[in-house]
Structure 1
Amino acid sequence: MGAAIETTARPFVEVSEVWVPEGEVLRFAGGHYGAMGAFGEASRHTRFGKGEGLPGRAWSEGKPIVLKSFDGSYFKRPEAAQKAGLTAAVAIPVFAGKTLRAVLVTLCADDDSRTGAIEVWRETDGLLMLDDGYYGAAKHFEWVSQHTHFPKGQGLPGGIWASGSPMLMRDLGSGYRFIRADSAGKAGLTTGLGLPVPGPSGDSCVLTLLSARGTPIARRFEIWDARAARVGSRGGAVLIDGICERDGPLWTDDTQEAPRHLAAWQGVIGRVLGTGAPVAESVTGSVGHGYASVVALPIYRGEALAFVVSWFC
């Protein structure tokens, strides 16, 4: 195993939580809250109807929703969020065909130093345009993004739109494939994870998570392929791409299989494969391998689970 991970950098995302449908409401199904236990306790006792609050709004609209301020909004836990220092959130619905499986909500704390981006891109007149996004202190990069569009196949959003598959990009500030490389470099953005977010109508948004070294969204990103053509009769999923801030594998056994294979119910990724729903939770001890939290998000093609993307912080 590598050395212990340096965790002094302030994360761009402070809280992640999962909401699952139960009848006509969304109920709490887990989350990572770090030192914000009081906000977590408020969440555990909350329910959302369709169209109610941020998770319910993502359910009813069938697409990711960005909420940049809680003041005067439909956010249901404003007092608890204010006490925790949380100021913005993004809700990501997970649909299998027309069926909602869960809503993943990530919450951020705004200040003058936290830089990153969580962006939602949607097709308009044959081009991908920015639907909304949260950028923290990266104001110039936000302006550039608002004035950028992507044809199919171009840049990170366009590449995801064309392939229908999640993608990782490295070295955003110097990579020629990243269209906004100059402004990304000035903002300190280094790593990009993009993924399709299908809606119940069959249309897909593209979600991009852009991480800066000083205030990272995560310290490790992974993409797992669960398509039958890739895993064959074994089922499960294979690791097809990943970025880590340290050398060495995340797992502790001596297996050198490439690509790495996990079965349903094996570890966090296996739980996503088994349940079809996201996971967001704290991890400790040897299970965490030096990380404090993990988020694992399923991506469907139609009704079939095709990929799992995960990030560790």
Structure 2
Amino acid sequence: MDTAIDSVTDTFIQVSEVWVPDTETGETLVLAEGSYGELAGFEAASRRESFAKGEGLPGKAWAEARPVVLKGFDGSYFKRTEAAREAGLTAAVAVPVFDGDTLNAVLVVLCGDDDTRTGAIEVWADTDGLLMLDDGYYGAAKHFEWVSQHTHFPRGQGLPGGVRASHTPMLMRDLGSGYRFIRADSAGKAGLTTGLGLPVPVPGGAGYVLTLLSARGTPIARRFELWDARSVKVGRDRAAVLADGVCQREGPLWTDDTQEPPRRVAPWQGQIGKVLATGVPVVTSGNPGLSAGYETMVALPIHDDGEIAHIVAWYC
């Protein structure tokens, strides 16, 4: 099988980070892992930082128990503004990972704003059965942003409504021509090709859905995976099974090639197994255990009723 990956000069997401409660007091968030590419200055600033509850972007997502979109840093509560400006970063999204009432981590992704990067990171909120856009970052896709701001979804309709109704992550392909994607026309004009939607469980039962919409030229990811961990066993142990996935390279997502990762993993088996064992997101770069041709992986657990129900992963 040809495992060559399409050459990509710019990605929509430039930085991914995992912030976790410190092990001594649990009262501040500290950096666990991050992928920064060539942005060494911003990485250094991040490794010196920590956040109390309500402080900075990770602390705000923790305190408000919801995903938070921040589309401008100047004059905001963002603590690393100067380092972000030097790195060309202009927007960020923070996604809290709760297991019941307990915060396990906050995943933060950061983007830069220019005339070429196109994509979407959206947060949808359930308001009396309708999914309304809470906020989103779209890069150069300004018309698609306008359409999204004027669109709502009943439960079960479109990508946000489908995720909310099923309480499971979903992948949609060919967004510009797919009849299931309500915003297909504007998505096609913006060059958006693949959509990932996932529920964001938070205390109190508020309904949030995160959607990542990827364009081929400046992709959020070149490979997406959905893993199902509900009542799956390997022997006596919990396990996760690959349920769906999509990638840009030619050919099927999975083959019988022994170099490919397994489609069923136990706790601590590879990066997906690490997420399964800890309930904490993973961000890894340059890891020899990644699938051939990929440099960065993000894997995010989705908790439900005291256990990990799903893991979503994307690769660049």
Task: Give the TM interval when normalised to the shorter protein.
Answer: over 0.9
User: 2:117 pairs with 111, 114, 117, which one?
Assistant: 114
Contact 2:227 2:310 in 1 (8 A): yes
Q: In structure 2, what is the equivalent of residue 4 of structure 1?
A: 4
Query: 1:152 is aligned with what amino acid?
Result: R
Q: How far 1:229 sits from its partner (Å)?
A: 5.4
Compare 124-133 and 106-115 and name the one that shifted more. 124-133
User: Quick check: 1:93–1:104 contact (8 Å CA) kept in 2?
Assistant: yes
Residue 200 (structure 1) shift = 1.2
Amino acid at match of 1:193: L
Taking the aligned partners of 1:113 and 1:305, their CA distance within structure 2 comes to 37
Q: RMSD value over aligned CA atoms?
A: 1.9
Say if 1:284 and 1:271 are closer, same or farther in 2 by CA, change over 3 A: closer
Query: TM-score, normalization: structure 1?
Result: 0.95
After superposition, where does 1:291-306 map in structure 2 within 5 Å?
291-306=294-309
Corresponding letter in the other structure for 1:165: T
- CA change 1:3–1:288 in 2 (3 A) is closer
Counterpart-to-counterpart distance in 1, 2:71 and 2:157: 28
AA in 2 matched with 1:254: T
The 2-side partners of 1:151 and 1:190 are apart by 23
Aligned twin of 2:258 = 254
Is the 2:3–2:292 contact (alpha carbons within 8 Å) kept by the matching residues of 1? Answer: no
CA distance in 2, matches of 1:199, 1:231: 29
TM-score (norm 2): 0.94
Q: Which moves more between the two structures, 298-307 or 185-194?
A: 298-307
Structure 1 contact 173–190 (Cα < 8 Å) conserved: yes
Q: Distance in 2 between matches of 1:152 and 1:230?
A: 31
- For 1:169, the aligned partner's letter is M
1:95 aligns with 2:98: yes
Ranges of 4+ aligned residues in structure 1 off by more than 6 Å? none
Between stretches 282-291 and 76-85, larger displacement belongs to: 282-291
**Distance (whole Å) between structure 1 residues aligned to residue 259 and residue 45 of structure 2:** 42
Query: 2:188 is matched by which residue type in structure 1?
Result: G
Q: Which residue in the other structure is 1:51 paired with?
A: 54
C-alpha change, 1:233 and 1:253, in structure 2 (3 Å) is farther
The equivalent position to 1:278 in structure 2, one of 278, 281, 286, is 281
Equivalent residues of 1:15, 1:31 under 8 A apart: yes
Measure how far apart 1:38 and its partner are.
Answer: 1.5
The verdict on how the C-alpha distance between 1:5 and 1:126 changes in structure 2, with shifts beyond 3 A counting, is same
* Residue ranges of structure 2 left out of the alignment (5+ in a row): none
Matched, 1:24 2:27: yes
Determine helix, strand or coil for the equivalent of 1:29.
strand
1-side partners of 2:113 and 2:235: how far apart? 45
One of 175, 196, 210 as aligned partner of 1:172: 175
